[in-house]
Chain A
Amino acid sequence: MKPNTQQLNDLTIQVRRDILRMVHAVNSGHPGGSLGCTEFLVALYQNLMERKEGFDMDGIGEDLFFLSNGHISPVFYSVLARSGYFPVAELATFRLINCRLQGHPTTHDGLPGIRMASGSLGQGLSVGIGAAQAKKLNNDKHLVYTLHGDGELQEGQNWEAIMYASAKKVDNLIATVDLNGKQIDGTTDEVLCMGSLKAKFEAFDWDVLEIKEGNNLEAIIAGMNDAKSRTGKGKPVCVLLHTEMGNGVDFMMHTHAWHGKAPNDAQLEQALSQNTSTLADY
């Protein structure tokens, strides 16, 4: 049974706490984008995706998710752990030596829930397309979801993949772009303005929809269900998800400063006070 709205809200707050505590503990990692995509990943794993019990690499007979912007590993790890892929206590090993929770996600150490390494940007859409085409060959009707940063779209491989997916009618794929408008050196408009991503994806013949409130669970679920309804119609589907980097922590919002910076002790306390524990901390 799917969790109700209250349960999803509680989990979202707990995932935020996990993210903050994980990056604080090792004084490194990427809290900004992680917090911005918390609602999306909670909704995806707890409401939208059809998932099997357990984990196997091939993922036949279930929906698949690929995180292309691997630096938001804290939110990915927290959501995976709290969705049952590995013990929640293991979140305490994030970025530590001999751990499975590497700085950026990897299959290398056998962490359940991860199907590809990511971190070097721009590679996830191609991998997602391949997995979607394997599903078609296997006559598996399940979907492939991918998530990409907006700054990440500056990598050229994306546009090879975007061109290919529509030309080859990869219509069992929903690629979501985390449109927070920020990257390491500033706003995406300042660093390398990409103009209208909606117009660009449409020019490449994708079916594009926008979720204006990308940090609102109900808006995400409604928007993604709309996206699901558009699959199987000959076009890949792109979701432009408008999010706020650092969402849920007031001093981390409306700035790119927290892209890859951990809070200090006082900042952690302040951030956690804005996200009172709902489930148990790890």
Chain B
Amino acid sequence: MKKYTNTGSKDTRSGFGAGMTELGQKNENVVALCADLIGSLKFDDFKKNHPERFFQIGIAEANMIGIAAGLTIGGKIPFTGTFASFSTGRVYDQIRQSVAYSDKNVKICASHAGLTLGEDGATHQILEDIGLMKMLPGMTVINTCDYNQTKAATIALADHHGPAYLRFGRPVVPNFMPADEPFVIGKAILLNEGTDVTIVATGHLVWEALVAAEALEAKGISAEVINIHTIKPLDEEAILKSLAKTKCIVTAEEHNILGGLGESVSRVLALHHPAPQEFVAVNDSFGESGTPEQLMEKYKLNNQAIVAAAEKVIKRK
């Protein structure tokens, strides 16, 4: 088993900020918009270095999405930044009509996604955003796993034409993807080869999947781990190739079981390769206040939950 080591825990949102800093220097068409959350989104450097290309919108997310759509007319590449809840559900119709249906090159960048937002509670812990965004025709949906991958995804998005949703989070988590790993939108990354079960994970659950694979190995179970950073378009080929070997699959995500990665994978299985699947996801509920670790344990989104799901799905083969 290839070892991925934590090179120093960092928050994924800081990866976004670092990506924006680099983009600011190398692409003069990149502009940033923020709805009163500069510090939370790590926009400080971009704002300082490129004040003319930074737009403080105030607490007005609908207006922010519309202004971003308008900025594309004239060749700008807008990156909007606020919490995931206010980036999606709050402004769904603005994204639907002014961005997606109008095919505008807007990058909707969303921090504080999922339960790991922590103490602020369910009003801010959106668990439905992947579903909302993946249902929009033409929308690319990306959920990154660590600092390095978030930085790489941010930079890659500037060269991708079309509307996109980039989802990341608040907590400090292991940073384990190589800094020089190329980020190819829609191309899954095989992290660990295995033969007994496929674990397809996205976002913060990717590290948990690696920890789970080690625990499974100690139990004599060989787990293949795939890092699915792009939920749409989904790398069906990578999933099916792995499934041909393992014949069963676990999906893991910090999202509602309805509408997330798991359901996208189920569709692939139903169409091409019916096989047992277990879901590590929030079971159709809202979140609540607590520390990220407490919440991930209570809602069964950690490595132990992945191990349990893997053992269960293998029995169903």
Show the binding face of A for B, using Cβ within 8 Å: 57-60, 64, 66, 106-108, 115-120, 123-135, 137-138, 140, 156-157, 160-161, 163-164, 167-168
Task: Knowing A118-B97, A120-B97, A156-B62 are in contact, say whether A64-B67 is a contact too (CB < 8 A).
Answer: no
Tally of B interface residues using CB under 8 Å: 32
Q: Which residues of B contact A124 (CB under 8 A)?
A: 66
Kindly report which residue of chain B lies nearest to residue A133, judged by CB atoms.
B71
Contact B98 A129 (CB under 8 A): no
List 12 additional A-B contacts (Cβ < 8 Å) besides A126-B69, A134-B73, A138-B75. A120-B93, A126-B70, A133-B70, A134-B71, A134-B76, A140-B74, A156-B62, A157-B62, A157-B63, A160-B62, A160-B63, A167-B58
Tell me the chain B residues, 52-105 only, with Cβ under 8 Å from chain A: 52-53, 55, 57-58, 60, 62-76, 78, 93-94, 96-98, 101-104
Contact B66 A157 (CB under 8 A): yes
Show the binding face of B for A, using Cβ within 8 Å: 31, 52-53, 55, 57-58, 60, 62-76, 78, 93-94, 96-98, 101-104
Contact A58 B97 (CB under 8 A): no
Contact B57 A164 (CB under 8 A): yes
Q: Which residues of B contact A140 (CB under 8 A)?
A: 74
Kindly report which residue of chain B lies nearest to residue A144, judged by CB atoms.
B70
Q: Which residues of A contact B65 (CB under 8 A)?
A: 126
29 contacts between A and B (CB under 8 A): A57-B73, A107-B102, A107-B103, A108-B101, A116-B69, A116-B104, A119-B97, A120-B96, A120-B97, A125-B66, A126-B63, A126-B66, A126-B70, A127-B67, A127-B69, A127-B70, A127-B73, A129-B70, A130-B78, A133-B71, A134-B74, A134-B76, A135-B74, A156-B62, A157-B66, A160-B58, A160-B63, A164-B63, A167-B58
Bound Cα distance from A164 to B72, whole angstroms: 18
Kindly report which residue of chain B lies nearest to residue A138, judged by CB atoms.
B74
Contact A133 B67 (CB under 8 A): yes
Contact A161 B70 (CB under 8 A): no
Contact B101 A60 (CB under 8 A): no
Q: Which residues of B contact A131 (CB under 8 A)?
A: 70-71, 73-74
Kindly report which residue of chain A lies nearest to residue B61, judged by CB atoms.
A160
Bound Cα distance from A163 to B74, whole angstroms: 23
Bound Cα distance from A126 to B95, whole angstroms: 12
Bound Cα distance from A115 to B105, whole angstroms: 13
Bound Cα distance from A66 to B103, whole angstroms: 16
**Which of B55, B63, B102 lies in contact with A116, CB distance below 8 A?**
B102
Q: Which residues of B contact A168 (CB under 8 A)?
A: 55
Q: Which residues of A contact B98 (CB under 8 A)?
A: 116-117, 123, 126-127
Closest approach, in angstroms, between the C-beta of A185 and any C-beta of chain B?
21
Task: Knowing A119-B97, A120-B93, A137-B76 are in contact, say whether A130-B70 is a contact too (CB < 8 A).
Answer: yes
Contact A157 B94 (CB under 8 A): yes
Contact B73 A130 (CB under 8 A): yes
Q: Which residues of B contact A108 (CB under 8 A)?
A: 101-103
Task: Knowing A116-B98, A123-B97, A164-B58 are in contact, say whether A58-B73 is a contact too (CB < 8 A).
Answer: yes
Contact A130 B102 (CB under 8 A): no
**Which of B66, B75, B101 lies in contact with A130, CB distance below 8 A?**
B66
Contact B70 A106 (CB under 8 A): no
Contact A163 B60 (CB under 8 A): yes
Bound Cα distance from A138 to B70, whole angstroms: 13
Closest approach, in angstroms, between the C-beta of B4 and any C-beta of chain A?
41
Closest approach, in angstroms, between the C-beta of A56 and any C-beta of chain B?
10
Closest approach, in angstroms, between the C-beta of B243 and any C-beta of chain A?
35
Q: Which residues of A contact B63 (CB under 8 A)?
A: 126, 129, 157, 160-161, 164
Bound Cα distance from A81 to B86, whole angstroms: 39
Contact A161 B66 (CB under 8 A): yes
Bound Cα distance from A137 to B51, whole angstroms: 12
**Which of A115, A132, A137, A156 lies in contact with B52, CB distance below 8 A?**
A137
